[in-house]
């Protein structure tokens, strides 16, 4: 019953958002990305959660360097394929799925050529978030790079003003 009530409230608060996260989890996640990157290099995480139709709710950050201990060694994210085995195992154990990924950049929140050519999950509909300034502060959706994978190394850019309509951060995340 409470779950149904929360779904109804969310429908009024964030009716068209495709991705959502509680503000508490978002703050904690960005703080941890900043800590892991020491405010000086990239860090990242897979975002696990639940999907209901085309809506996805983030429930957990799983940091790249917990799955691949050398993923942050070069200053940019270089994730070895062997890290996917533990990720899929965690998904099976928790019943959650990868709903998006997030990583930091030093400057602005735009995709690099490496990001475009190497999606973390090469599946149509996958969402990739980029946080600027190595996550040295808590950023809102309009500050992020928000990209949806279309396949064939093509992405839909939901960044800027559109991000506020696409990604909801708040109490009902």
What are the per-10-residue average pLDDT scores of the chain (173 residues)?
A: 57 70 96 96 97 93 97 95 96 98 96 95 96 94 96 95 92 63
Closest CA to 65 of 104, 114, 121, 109: 104
Question: Which pLDDT score is estimated for 102?
Answer: 98
Instruction: Give the 3-state secondary structure of residue 25.
Output: helix
Question: Which pLDDT score is estimated for 54?
Answer: 87
Question: Which pLDDT score is estimated for 144?
Answer: 97
Question: Which pLDDT score is estimated for 157?
Answer: 97
The number of domains in the chain is 1
Question: Which pLDDT score is estimated for 15?
Answer: 53
Quote the pTM value: 0.90
Exposed, middle or buried by CB within 10 Å (0-12, 13-18, 19+), for 5? exposed
Q: The CATH number of the domain where 110 resides is what?
A: 3.40.140.10
Closest CA to 147 of 106, 81, 103, 87: 103
Print the domain residue range for 94: 2-170
């Amino acid at each position: 019953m409470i779950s149904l009530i929360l779904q109804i409230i969310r429908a009024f608060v964030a009716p068209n958002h495709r991705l959502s996260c509680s503000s508490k989890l978002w703050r904690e996640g960005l703080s941890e990305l900043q800590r892991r990157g020491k405010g000086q290099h990239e860090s990242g995480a897979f975002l696990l959660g639940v999907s209901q139709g085309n809506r996805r709710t983030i429930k957990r950050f799983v940091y790249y360097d917990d799955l691949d201990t050398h993923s942050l060694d070069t200053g940019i994210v270089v994730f070895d394929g062997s890290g996917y085995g533990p990720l899929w195992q965690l998904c099976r154990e928790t019943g959650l799925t990868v709903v998006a990924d997030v990583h930091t950049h030093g400057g602005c929140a735009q995709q690099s050529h490496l990001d475009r050519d190497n999606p973390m999950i090469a599946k149509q509909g996958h969402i990739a978030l980029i946080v600027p300034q190595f996550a040295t502060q808590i950023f809102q959706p309009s500050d992020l790079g928000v990209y949806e994978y279309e396949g064939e190394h093509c992405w839909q850019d939901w960044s800027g003003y559109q991000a506020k309509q696409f990604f909801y951060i708040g109490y009902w995340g």
